[in-house]
Amino acid sequence: MKKKLLALLLALCMVFVLAACGSETDSDAETSGGDSGEASGDTIKIGMIGPQTGSNAAYGTSMLEGLQMTIDEINEAGGILGRQVELIATDDRGDATEAQNAFNNLISQGVTLIIGSATSGATSALTNLANEEGVVLITPSATADDITTEDDYVFRACFKDTLQGSIAAAYVEQAGITRVGTIACSADPYSSGLVNAFISACQERGIEVVEQQSTATMDAQDFTNQFTAMASADVDLVYAIYYYNAVGPFLVTQARAAGYDGIIMGADGYDGALDYVSEGADYSAFNDVIYTNHYDPSDTSAAVQDYVTAYSELYGTTPLCFAALASDCMMMLQTAIETAGTDEASAVRDALSDTSVTYEGVTGTFTLDESGTPIKGAAVISFAYDESVGGLDGLGTELVTTISSDEIA
Partner 1 sequence: MGEFLQTLFVGLRLGSVYALIALGYTMVYGIIRLINFAHGDFIMVGGYTLIFTVPLMTAAGMPAWMAVIIAILVCALVGVGVELIAYRPVRKKGTNMTALITAIAMSLFLENLAQAIPAIGPNPMVAGTFFESGGFRVAGVTLDYTTIYTIAVSAVVMLLLYVFTQKTKMGRAMRCVSEDKSAAILMGISVNKTVLTTFAIGSGLAAVAALMYIAQYPSVYTTIGSLLGLKAFVAAVVGGIGIVPGAMLGGLVIGLVESFSTAYISSSLTDTFVFLILIIVLLIKPAGILGKNVGEKV
CB 228, CB 255: distance < 8 Å: no
- Selected from 149, 178, 228, 401, the binder of partner 1 by CB under 8 A is 228
CB 159, CB 378: distance < 8 Å: yes
Shortest separation between residue 31's beta carbon and partner 1, angstroms: 16
- Between 203 and 232, name the residue whose CB sits nearer to partner 1: 232
Q: Is 121 near partner 1 (CB under 8 A)?
A: no
Single out the residue of 131, 378, 163 nearest to residue 271, CA to CA: 378
Q: Is 17 near partner 1 (CB under 8 A)?
A: yes
* CA triple 111-60-196, angle to 5 deg: 105
Q: Is 278 near partner 1 (CB under 8 A)?
A: yes
CB 27, CB 95: distance < 8 Å: no
CB contact set of 302 (below 8 Å; sequence gap of 6+): none
Shortest separation between residue 102's beta carbon and partner 1, angstroms: 15
- Give residues 28-57 in contact with partner 1 (rule: CB under 8 A): 53-55, 57
- Selected from 50, 66, 165, 248, the binder of partner 1 by CB under 8 A is 248
Q: Is 90 near partner 1 (CB under 8 A)?
A: no
What DSSP assignment string belongs to 53-120? SSTTHHHHHHHHHHHHHHHHHHHHTT-BTTB-EEEEEEE-TT-HHHHHHHHHHHHHTT--EEEE-SSH
CB 228, CB 236: distance < 8 Å: no
Q: Is 394 near partner 1 (CB under 8 A)?
A: no
The region of 82-90, 134-142, 247-255, 329-337 touching partner 1 under the rule CB under 8 A is 247-255
- Between 241 and 277, name the residue whose CB sits nearer to partner 1: 277
- Give residues 202-221 in contact with partner 1 (rule: CB under 8 A): 213-216, 220-221
Half-sphere exposure of 8 (CA within 13 A, CB side): 5
- Selected from 44, 48, 62, 93, the binder of partner 1 by CB under 8 A is 93
- Selected from 279, 313, 393, 406, the binder of partner 1 by CB under 8 A is 279
CB contact set of 258 (below 8 Å; sequence gap of 6+): 223, 224, 225, 227, 228, 231
Residues that bind partner 1 (CB under 8 A): 1-3, 6, 9-10, 12-13, 15-17, 19-20, 22-24, 53-55, 57, 93, 185-187, 213-216, 220-222, 224-226, 228-229, 232, 245, 248-250, 253, 257-259, 276-282
